[in-house]
Each structure stands twice: as structure tokens, then as C-alpha cells.
């Protein structure tokens, strides 16, 4: 699933991005599809449960 825009058409690109950001269901579908696709290319297992809480910066 994806959105197609004409090459070099900035307004179409902006509209497509707005469409995804304004539609939570579409956003969530893109997000889960992107994660699933990325995992096919990942050689490293990432501890997503630990990362879900976010990162903290360690000051030195």
C-alpha cells in the first residue's frame, strides 16, 4: 500500500503527506507495514519492548 504522486509536483507531495497525517487509520496501516517491511531487511533483533519507553540521554 502506498500513495503515488507525480514527479516534481510539490503540491501533490504535500497533499499526500497531509492525507496520511490527517487519517489515523491510514497512518497506523503505513506504520505497521513499514515496520514489518523493515524487519525483513534487519539482520539484528531490536528489543522494541525496551525501546518503547523512549531513550534517555546520559550526560557526561
On the question of pLDDT at 46 being above 90, the answer is no
pLDDT band of residue 16 (cuts 50, 70, 90) is very high
pLDDT, the chain, mean: 81
Which pTM value belongs to this model? 0.55
| Better pLDDT: 58 or 35 | 35
Each domain of the chain, given as residue ranges in start order, spans 10-51
Residue 20 CB burial class (10 angstroms; 0-12, 13-18, ≥19): middle
Q: Other CB atoms closer than 10 Å to residue 24's CB: what's the count?
A: 9
Rounded to an integer, what distance in angstroms lies between the CA atom of residue 7 and that of residue 21? 21
- Whether the CA torsion 6, 20, 55, 47 is positive or negative: it is negative
pLDDT band of residue 59 (cuts 50, 70, 90) is low
Amino acid at each position: 500500500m502506498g500513495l503515488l504522486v507525480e514527479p516534481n509536483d510539490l503540491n501533490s507531495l504535500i497533499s499526500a503527506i497531509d492525507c496520511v497525517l490527517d487519517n489515523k487509520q491510514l497512518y497506523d496501516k503505513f506504520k505497521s507495514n513499514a515496520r514489518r517491511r523493515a524487519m525483513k531487511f534487519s539482520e539484528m533483533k531490536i528489543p522494541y519492548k525496551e525501546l518503547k519507553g523512549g531513550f534517555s540521554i546520559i550526560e557526561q
